[in-house]
Amino acid sequence: MVPAGPGGRTILSSLPPLSLYVHVPWCVRKCPYCDFNSHELKKELPEQDYLDALQADLEQALPLIWGRQVISVFIGGGTPSLLSAAALDRMLAMFRACLNLLPDAEVTLEANPGTAEADRFADYAASGVNRISLGIQSFDDRALKALGRIHDARQARAAIEFAQNAVPRVNLDLMYALPGQSLEACADDLRQAMSFGTGHLSLYHLTLEPNTVFAKYPPALPDDDLGAAMQDLITRETGTGGWERYEVSAYARPGQHCRHNLNYWEFGDYLGIGPGAHGKLSFHDRIVRQARLKNPVSWMEKAVRRDGSHLAEDRELPWKDLGFEFMLNALRLKEGVERGSFIERTGQSILVIEPAIERAVAKGLLEADRSRLKATAHGWEFLNDLLAEFLD
């Protein structure tokens, strides 16, 4: 590490690992709880126009990452499994041609059980996908209907079998604290999810996000005490079943941690391409954040112009914000991070955030020794309170 330059300018002696995020923005139907950049597909998927724009987006970004190895690819959405096998094959071939993609890179594809086909999953795997993340959400048909999902429990089980037969690593996304859900129903969902023996589970507490249908017309949700009981149940049962809760919402069997998401939480770099995609890129003298235009039509039209007009944001992170940005990610990890990684990833001395560390330790929110920083059990439960200490 080289000390910060004049005026507190970031100076990094080495660059962090780099990942690629790809956004596929279309869905069959927009779920009422979803605040992601997803758009209901009104007509045929414009695969060729999308892929042409994606290639133009990627090629314009190449000078920013030239020569750097890419450790993981995550194709998210939306519903990427709406893409044909041929489209996905062209996409991954593009990445191999343009990027220094590690031979053993983790390549994840998000999929909706309502769009799952055994042959298509096998074709995805043949093109290079080695991890599938399935948006199951629940195995209760009534809950799925309340969530506006297009699949039922039978399709969910079939999709899991398709995915396990196609790729070596499978993640199941589930939600809890659903409309009208009891503790027993939550436990049943969890038991069914664990019964398939996948290596990774992502379990999310349903929240009412702004600008969603649920925010405008809120359903009756479990109260805070019941939601907390569900979280306690999940933590206890996954631990007994052999999954480690290594991040706020992520549970993994040994060796099955999501490398792509770990790179986010460890303040690694990621290039985001596709409509609405966000990215963070480090250089020796600065760290920048980028975002693409959200509207798929606008992004496709402007990306192919190759004049930068497809970017909605391209800004350098202020030196004073780096401490909070780092901790915002790192403290989501159960084991936290090594102190030295703060210096490596921000270019700042740990002394910059020492007052905040001391305040958080005094309040019982943070464990801090000479080697690591991590939230206490209380701090992890009240993570927003812990992070607020680093806002200054």
CA-CA distances (angstroms) from residue 309 to 60, 65, 98, 304, 362? Answer: 11, 19, 21, 9, 48
Residues in the chain, how many?
392
Paired tokens of 100: 């220094």
Tell me, what's the pLDDT at 114? 86
Cβ atoms within 10 Å, residue 204: 15
Q: Which domains, from first to last, does the chain contain?
A: 6-264 (3.20.20.70), 320-388 (1.10.10.10)
Residues 111 and 81: beta-carbon distance below 8 Å: yes
Residues 133 and 118: beta-carbon distance below 8 Å: no
Write the single-letter amino acid at 327: M
| Angle at alpha carbon of residue 14, lines to 129 and 274, rounded to 5° | 35
Residue 119 has pLDDT above 90, yes or no: no
- With cut-offs at 50, 70 and 90, classify the pLDDT of residue 2: very low
Only one residue has tokens 């005490």, namely 225
Tell me, what's the pLDDT at 8? 58
Residue 121 has pLDDT above 50, yes or no: yes
Q: 3-state secondary structure string, 6-53?
A: HHHECCCCCCCCEEEEEEECEECCCCCCCCCCCEECCCCCCHHHHHHH
- With cut-offs at 50, 70 and 90, classify the pLDDT of residue 97: very high
Q: What's the first-to-final CA gap in the chain, in angstroms? A: 23
Residue 36 has pLDDT above 50, yes or no: yes
Residues 390 and 356: beta-carbon distance below 8 Å: yes
Write the single-letter amino acid at 155: Q
Handedness of CA 139, 142, 143, 144 (dihedral sign): positive
174-209 pLDDT, tens per residue?
Answer: 999 999 999 999 999 999 999 999 999 999 999 999
Tell me, what's the pLDDT at 6? 43
How far is 392 from 385, CA to CA, in rounded Å? 13
Give me the mean pLDDT over the 66-89 stretch: 96
Q: Tell the burial category of 123 from Cβ atoms under 10 Å away from its Cβ (0-12, 13-18, 19+).
A: middle
Paired tokens of 258: 């999501």
- pTM, entire model: 0.95
| DSSP assignment of 176-203 | ES-TT--HHHHHHHHHHHHHT--SEEEE
User: Could you tell me what percent of the chain has a pLDDT over 70?
Assistant: 97
Q: Which residues contact 338 (CB under 8 A, 6 or more apart)?
A: 371, 372, 373
356-367 pLDDT, tens per residue?
Answer: 999 999 999 999
Q: Which residues contact 223 (CB under 8 A, 6 or more apart)?
A: none
Half-sphere exposure in the Cβ direction for 58 (13 Å, CA):
21
Only one residue has tokens 């359903």, namely 219
| ω into 78 cis (within 30 of 0) | yes
153-181 pLDDT, tens per residue?
Answer: 999 999 999 999 999 999 999 999 999 99
